[in-house]
Amino acid sequence: MSDIRLFYLEGCPYCRKALAALAELKNDPAYAAVKVDMVEENEQPQVAEKYDYYHVPALFADGEKVYECSPGDGEDAIRAGVKAALDRGLGR
């Protein structure tokens, strides 16, 4: 299983969508065991600065970027990005 790290900001509308998608997907028993390290970048800037991304939410699997939200991404794109990261967490 890969280590998944999700970078987000409180108050970010895209991040809220990602967190909702994550909660929904984690209800699936297949994804329930995937550990996701949540990093609020304002609270943990020392962690965030070690990763190469510009927009949040951003998801990494074993240090490799799997998804970075782009301005204008809708719920489907964000959910697909979260799902791709969870799939990587399962080794898919």
DSSP string for residues in 48-62: HTTS--SSSSEEEET
Averaged pLDDT for residues 68-84: 96
> Considering the entire predicted model, what is its pTM?
0.93
Domain harbouring 53, CATH code: 3.40.30.10
Range of the domain at 38: 4-89
Rounded alpha-carbon distances, angstroms, from residue 52 to 60, 75, 92: 10, 23, 23
| Digit-coded pLDDT (tens) for 35-75 | 999 999 999 999 999 999 999 999 999 999 999 999 999 99
Q: What is the pLDDT of residue 1?
A: 65
How many structural domains is the chain composed of? Answer: 1
